[in-house]
Amino acid sequence: MHIVILGGGLSAISASLFLQDKPNIEKIVILEKEEVPGGLCRTFSTNGIEWDIGPHIIFSKDKEVLSFMNQSLEENNEQHRRSNRIIHDKRFIQYPFENDLSKLSEHDKFVCLNGFLHNPYENYPVANMLQFFLRTFGEGITNMYLRPYNEKIWKFDPAFMDTQMVERIPRPPKEDIIKSAAGETVDGYTHQLYFNYPKTGGTESLIKALVKKLSDKVEIVTSAEVKAVEKRSGKFVITAKETTYEADKVISTIPMDQLVPMYATETPVPEEVKDCAHALHHNSIAICIVNVKKDFAGDNYAFMIADRNVIFHRISKLDFMGKCYHLPDTVTYMAEITYRTDDIYDKMSEEEMEKQVANGLERIGFIESPEDINFIKIKRFDYAYVIYDLMHKQNTSKIIEYLAREGIYVNGRFGSFAYLNMDAIIRQSINLAANF
């Protein structure tokens, strides 16, 4: 059996790794449009500082997958204790927000506590993300943090998003919220309390480590953007880099909304499937690397900011990861700005975006003035986050079912159009390989 994998990120490489020892598989070809494999797990460098496309970390409840990732990195691996904060009114609130209400002003604390204890929505069924927040946390916590933060990161109204991202969040007991307001702070999401990260080379180090494990059975072709996928007499013909590749099976890790329009077969793709692909939504992201003179972040890593007057929704202190991510006598931050095609942030110039980032840093108290910035650099990435709009599950299910009938298997965050972290992608690859 010959397999062609569309895309060369973590999902493609991990799937190849778990497939390569199958005796019925003779050849696996990975087609990656960029010059190097890695996808969203690529690592870049600015003035000697290495950074990822967002703050990737290595953690998981899945012990098998966690062990696989850590062992793959061998000695280039280091454990850290997570220290994430929410910045509200220039106050550092422990994440998650509801666990540290005592840090709020007296007024804000009362609004959050009263809204939780006297919640008129707690017995209603929910049909969208906003309703879930209101039922679970009340109006105070929802309107002060959850609603504005999620509007910033998704650039999509939570009233038109489903509950897939949030349905596993438990409703805190009333006594825990009362304790939180009184100052009894507890660690939230304890399975994420400790995480690992490469000592050097960023998250791409994991990609490089996995590539080294691939056998001669696997070929990675770079600078090979897929242009067409055709099915002829039961076989697949894939066109990329002005070259055609034949396959018995196809695994797609490229965005689902790009795959469907380029797919052709003897029986035309149903219009309903095309419509579903056209209706999918995603966010792009601008990563802004900014190096400043002074450290106002302390021994913390990532900060979430719901303030609508700050352009970025999250900022991460890269120095937290160790000496290889630090320049002497300075601090380097990674600010994230999400956007959708043709919105105001998509059309914003880099100069204006850099100015807005500087204003945001000053507003949250991380610089005293723009003169504290040593250098700043922005890089944009088209596909970053899947948006779970109200039709997401229905649309993706129809597409996946159709592709599976055709012999095309989807894998990865945008291959399956699901919000998957690295551990979930590797687990998905394990499960996929088990079916071959």
pLDDT digits (tens, 9 = 90+) for 30-63: 999 999 999 999 999 999 999 999 999 999 999 9
pLDDT, tens only, 211-249: 999 999 999 999 999 999 999 999 999 999 889 999 999
Q: Which residue has the higher pLDDT, 170 or 181?
A: 181
246, containing H or E segment: strand 243-247
Task: State the pLDDT confidence band at 317, using cuts at 50, 70 and 90.
Answer: very high
Q: Which of 430, 321, 419 is nearest to 67 (CA)?
A: 430
pLDDT value at residue 71? 98
* Six token digits for residue 158: 């939570």
Task: State the pLDDT confidence band at 187, using cuts at 50, 70 and 90.
Answer: low
pLDDT value at residue 168? 86
The answer, yes or no, to whether residue 188 has pLDDT greater than 60, is: no
* Six token digits for residue 3: 């397999």
The answer, yes or no, to whether residue 322 has pLDDT greater than 90, is: yes
All domains in the chain, ordered by first residue:
2-40+202-280+390-434 (3.50.50.60), 96-187 (1.10.3110), 282-386 (3.90.660.20)
pLDDT value at residue 384? 98
Task: State the pLDDT confidence band at 125, using cuts at 50, 70 and 90.
Answer: very high
The answer, yes or no, to whether residue 282 has pLDDT greater than 70, is: yes
Average pLDDT over residues 72-94: 96
DSSP class per residue in 183-240: T----SSGGGSEEEE-SSS-THHHHHHHHHT--TTEEEE-S--EEEEEEETTEEEEEE
Three-class DSSP labels, the chain: CEEEEECCEHHHHHHHHHHCCCCCCCEEEEECCCCCCEHHHCEEEECCEEEECCCCCECCCCHHHHHHHHHHHCCCCEEEECCCEEEECCEEEECCHHHCHHHCCHHHHHHHHHHHHCCCCCCCCCCCHHHHHHHHHHHHHHHHHHHHHHHHHHCCCHHHECCCCCCCCCCCCHHHHHHHHHCCCCCCCHHHCEEEECCCCCCHHHHHHHHHCCCCCEEEECCCCEEEEEEECCEEEEEECCEEEEECEEEECCCHHHHHHHEEECCCCCHHHHHHHHCCCEEEEEEEEEEECCCCCCCCCEEEECCCCCCCCEEEEHHHHCHHHCCCCCEEEEEEEEECCCCCCCCCCHHHHHHHHHHHHHHCCCCCCHHHEEEEEEEEEEEEEECCECCHHHHHHHHHHHHHHHCEEECCCCCCCCCCCHHHHHHHHHHHHHCC
pLDDT value at residue 192? 67
pLDDT, tens only, 405-422: 999 999 999 999 999 999
Q: Which of 421, 392, 406 is nearest to 260 (CA)?
A: 406
pTM of the shown model: 0.96
The answer, yes or no, to whether residue 23 has pLDDT greater than 70, is: yes
The answer, yes or no, to whether residue 193 has pLDDT greater than 90, is: no
Average pLDDT over residues 270-279: 98
pLDDT value at residue 239? 98
pLDDT value at residue 309? 97
The answer, yes or no, to whether residue 190 has pLDDT greater than 80, is: no
Average pLDDT over residues 423-434: 98
